[in-house]
Structure formats: structure tokens, C-alpha cells
Amino acid sequence: MDSSIKQSKGMNIHARRFISYLVLIIITILCLVWFYILFINATRSNSQLKRGFTLLPSTFLFENWNNVLHGTLPIMSGMMNSVIVSVTSAVLCTYFSTMTAYAVHVYDFKLKKAAYTFILMVMMIPTQVTALGFLKLVGRIGLDDSLIPLIIPTIAAPITFFYMKQYMESTLPLSLIEAARIDGANEFYTFNKVCMPLMKPAIAVQAIFTFVSSWNNYFTPALILHSDNKKTLPIVIAQLRAADFLKFDMGQVYVTIAFSIFPVIVVYLILSKYIVGGVTAGGVKG
């Protein structure tokens, strides 16, 4: 009787495991099939794309890329501008948002709850609502057609602050901060050497999100940037898609979009080990 019960339980576990793996495989295929279609279309010419989709790649990848590089649009400068804006925004946003969350989490002051509520209220305001005032401010201080207005505002990121604050409540005990202070550590040393290493998984997640958000941002750069050598990659891709009928080449559009995805993949591969390591460490500590 006991052996049959154990056998049935073992079969149920194997069945659930099989279903779980099957669902994960299906979801993975659904997520990756669009990347496959993108890279296949990047290898095809404009005339081939008009005839419909095929599962096999073609031989026009380097020709499409060569046409993009030698075209009238500044692809490489747009790439470099996007890299500068995205990397700088990710670094500044994660560091200062973590510092703000640390201050709200560790210190006790009179307006602590009011400050926390105010930051959450700011998080609810869409970017489009403040775009006109932001554009006027940028023009008055002489930063129009510059990359600086795309970087500085990312320092104050309420969403990143909220995530960091929630993560600190579960992983950063106040007793650890008090122990560091008793040992003679100043506040900056405590934050940089005690808090930041514990926050690596959360920092990696938010760095990925901030990088991708800045990398794909089209709305704000389109309002501020006017010179061709200052434009970011999303603006260049939009101009490539908006070409007139005689110059429109869908193969160039696909190869440019595929090219723009690679930095995002590289950033994820670099930072993903910190996410996995943090989850593993949390499981071991638990």
C-alpha cells in the first residue's frame, strides 16, 4: 500500500515536471521566434521581403549592412550616441536611486513618510505630461540639441528608487549598518562597501531596465536632438523607415533593427550572472 502511494506520488511529480518543462519550452519558442524572423529578414533583399516570409536565410546580409553604412543616415554616430546616453543613464540612475533608497531606509527624519509618498506620486506622472515644460527648460538653459538633457533627468528615477527600497527592506538589516558604524565606518564607506555589494542583484536588474529604456527611447530625443551627429539610434531607424518610396529598403530597416538589438543582449549577458548569483546566494542563506 505504501509503495503504491509512493509510486503514484513519484509519477505525479514527474508529470508536473514534464508539464512545467513543456510550458517553459513553448514560452521560450514564442519569445525567440520573433528574433529569428527579424534576423532572417535582415538577410533578405527588399524585393524578397515583398514576396513574403521564408524560414531559410538569404545572402543579402552584408549587402544590406553595406548599404546602411554608406547611406545618407548617420548609423554609427547614432549608435555611439545611444551607447553614451544608455550606459551613463544606467550607471547614474542605479547609483543615485540606490543612495536615495538607502537614505529613506536607514535614516529616521520627520518628513520620511511624506518624502516617500511624494516620490511615489511623482512615479505616477507620465513623461508626456511634463514634456512641454521640460522642452522649454532645456531651451532656456541652452542645452537644446545636446545629449545632457537625456542623461541628467534619469538620475531621479522614482520607479528605480521604489524597487531598491523594497529590496533593501528584505536584504539590508539595520543591524548591519549599525555594526559598520560601531566599527568606525563613515556613511559613504558604509553605503559603498556594505550596502552596494548586497544590492548587486537589484542593481543589475535596474541597470538592464534603465539601459533598455534609454536605448529604446524615441520620444524625448526626438524633441531635443536636431543635428544628424547628435541623433540617437531610434531616431535614425525612424528616419530610415520614413524614407520615400524610391529610397525605401525594408532589408536595410531589418538589418539596422537587428544591429540595434546586439548591445542590449551584451548588457544582459554581462549583468545576468549577478542576478543568478544573487538568487542562488539568497536561496543558500534561506
CATH among 1.10.3720.10, 3.40.50.2300, 1.10.150.20, 3.40.30.10 for 73-242: 1.10.3720.10
pLDDT at 283 over 50: no
Q: How far is residue 128 from each of residues 133, 157, 220, measured CA to CA in Å? A: 10, 15, 9
Give the model confidence (pLDDT) of 176-204 as tens digits.
888 888 888 888 888 888 888 888 888 88
- Contact (Cβ atoms closer than 8 angstroms) between residue 249 and residue 235: no
Give the model confidence (pLDDT) of 102-159 as tens digits.
988 888 888 888 888 888 888 888 877 888 888 888 889 888 888 999 999 888 888 8
Domain locations along the chain: 2-63, 73-242
Q: Report which residue type is found at 204.
A: A
pTM here?
Answer: 0.81
Q: How far is residue 275 from each of residues 94, 204, 271, measured CA to CA in Å? A: 15, 6, 7
**Number of other residues whose CB lies within 10 A of the CB of residue 188:** 9
Length of the chain: 286
266 in helix, strand or coil?
A: helix
Give the model confidence (pLDDT) of 160-180 as tens digits.
898 888 888 888 888 888 888
How confident is the model at residue 284, as a pLDDT? 39
